[in-house]
Structure 1
Amino acid sequence: MFALPEKAVVACVHLPPTPGSPRYGGSIDHIYESAISDAEIFLRHGVDALIVENFRDAPFHPGPVPAETTATLAGVTREIVRMSGVPTGVAVLRNDASAALAIATATGADFIRVNVHIGAVLSEQGILAGNAHETLRLRRALGSDVAIFADARVKHSQPFVYGDLATEVRDLSQRSDGIIVSGELTGLETSPEDLLTARAATAGPLLVGSGVTPENLEAVFAPADGFIVGSYFKVDGVPGNPVDESRVSALMDRVCSLRRSQGAETTETAGAGAR
């Protein structure tokens, strides 16, 4: 099964509005060109993985997306997989895990992100229910090895089923290949306390799903295995804006610094134990 590199930075490739969405601009070429341009910036600064999302298609479908959305995401994802050389994921917003899994399998992508994999939440799209039973069966039927990363206490929602984060993380760990913990809204900082709670509840991969900046990265660096970054990489930190290359550079410099520091601390600790 696929595994992300240690302390991986996963950069979000937010597509322009796709065909059928309210703000679609009428140019398929623009969607491909924008995605490839963003990916090239991220790769130039050493990000470890990419995830392709129909982020600008709001308002999102609460369930299955139409064929034109799936087709566009599949086409773009295949281009990104072919040009990037790094692990690539797919998120079909708001919660179409089956489409994401099919796209990833058909395009050679490595993982998907699922907002609501188990339980149910109240969201701006209404009630979203997890379909882990369908997604896991589909993966088996397709003979796919695509990894499933699932959100716990997903942003922009209130849970119906789970009264505490630890219980949700423990259940998710039985039905997914990794857990994502985020802030309450897009771009908001992930609580270090929530991350530690999740870390204690799972031995599997644990990713920070929102709000990472060079200034707060150290607070979540130790317990996390990776960091999904979208908003910070945009001009002024606004998620709907274009990518700001200087911000990509700043965050990756900070990540590299913390990796070196953590590596030194690990070596020193091992040496002390040997003595």
Structure 2
Amino acid sequence: MTRTRTPRLVGMVHLPALPGTPAGRLPLSEIVAGAVADAVTLADAGFDGLLVQNSLDRPTRERVDAASVAQLTAVAAAVRARVDLPMGINFVKNDGPAALAVAAAVGAEFVRIKVHTGAVLSAEGVLQGSAFETLALRKRLGADVAIWADVYEPTSRPLLPDDIALAAVDAVEFGMADAVIITRPSAAESLATIADLRKRLPDVPMVVGGEVDATTVADVLTGADAAIVGSALKRPAGIRGPVVAEAAREITAAAGPVERT
């Protein structure tokens, strides 16, 4: 697997609740149009990667249904047709095989998986990793899709003692993750954690998964291999509403030149 197109500055494409979910209110055509508009705004601002997520489906669940897989595939395919940037897929809360299937279908470069290995306690209950199923599907499909695995994703609580280094090693050595995502309460704490993890996993790409904005992005891209930017793209900050071009440009200006590989 080559995975030659590796983004460093990844902008979130937060989707409204999908049709058929309890919170769903919009037709799929409107969701597709909004996602494409957000992706174009991010590309025009200078981001070199996108991450498409069904962010506002409520209540969330560990595994999604066939309708959600089909709908997210339609959204991601439309984005891919308009914007030629490396793209990732993430299902909330934790459906790694579904995300991998969508990514393979649309030619996305990576998936984000919130609980790839281990187990956590979340609003959905106990969520368990599905590394075997995700990796087996990737092999069966022959998909050139990288796995970005969260380690202690902040909306869940680990069931074991808080040993983030051990959890990261598990994700890589037992889960065969291609990169790990670290999201601590602040960007500075994420970078400190990454600096410590590099002693254990020196060759594994490290991604900061949150708390990245115009004031922190330059430091984050100095200390980490990539950054995912979400809430800071909106006005007011959050996961609702469209990406604001001015906010996106502020972040890329603060980040400095981002080489597209």
Same fold (TM over 0.5): yes
Q: What's the counterpart of residue 125 of structure 1?
A: 124
1:51-200 matches, within 5 Å, as: 51-61=51-61, 63-161=62-160, 163-174=162-173, 175-184=176-185, 189=187, 191=189, 192-200=191-199
Name the structure, 1 or 2, with higher relative contact order (CA <8 Å, separation 6+).
Answer: 2
Q: What's the counterpart of residue 34 of structure 2?
A: 34
Task: Name the SS of the counterpart of 2:149 in structure 1.
Answer: strand
Please give the alpha-carbon distance, in whole angstroms, between the structure 1 residues aligned to 2:165 and 2:243: 34
Q: What is the identity, as a one-letter code, of the residue corresponding to 2:33?
A: E
CA distance change for structure 1 residues 245 and 222 in 2, over 3 Å: closer, same or farther? same
Please give the alpha-carbon distance, in whole angstroms, between the structure 2 residues aligned to 1:155 and 1:111: 21
CA distance change for structure 1 residues 139 and 81 in 2, over 3 Å: closer, same or farther? same
Please give the alpha-carbon distance, in whole angstroms, between the structure 2 residues aligned to 1:86 and 1:109: 9
Give the number of the structure whose residues are more often helix, by fraction: 1
1:83-113 deviation per Cα after TM superposition (whole angstroms, max 9, x unaligned): 1111011001100011000111111111100
Q: Do the aligned residues in 2 keep the contact of 1:190 with 1:208 (CA within 8 Å)?
A: no
Gaps of 5+ in 2: none
Structure 1, 193-202 or 173-182: larger mean CA deviation: 193-202
Give percent identity, aligned residues only.
33
Decide which structure has the larger Cα Rg and report it. 1
Q: Do the aligned residues in 2 keep the contact of 1:190 with 1:209 (CA within 8 Å)?
A: no
Please give the alpha-carbon distance, in whole angstroms, between the structure 1 residues aligned to 2:188 and 2:197: 12
Q: What's the counterpart of residue 236 of structure 1?
A: 236
Q: What's the counterpart of residue 22 of structure 1?
A: 22
Q: CA deviation at 1:242?
A: 2.5
RMSD: 1.8
Task: Name the SS of the counterpart of 2:92 in structure 1.
Answer: coil
Q: Do the aligned residues in 1 keep the contact of 2:187 with 2:208 (CA within 8 Å)?
A: no
Q: Do the aligned residues in 2 keep the contact of 1:190 with 1:211 (CA within 8 Å)?
A: no
Q: CA deviation at 1:195?
A: 2.4
Q: CA deviation at 1:163?
A: 3.5
Q: Do the aligned residues in 2 keep the contact of 1:195 with 1:220 (CA within 8 Å)?
A: no
Stretches of 4+ aligned residues off by more than 3 angstroms: 3-6
Q: CA deviation at 1:145?
A: 1.5
Q: What is the identity, as a one-letter code, of the residue corresponding to 2:179?
A: G
Gaps of 5+ in 1: 261-275
CA distance change for structure 1 residues 190 and 120 in 2, over 3 Å: closer, same or farther? farther
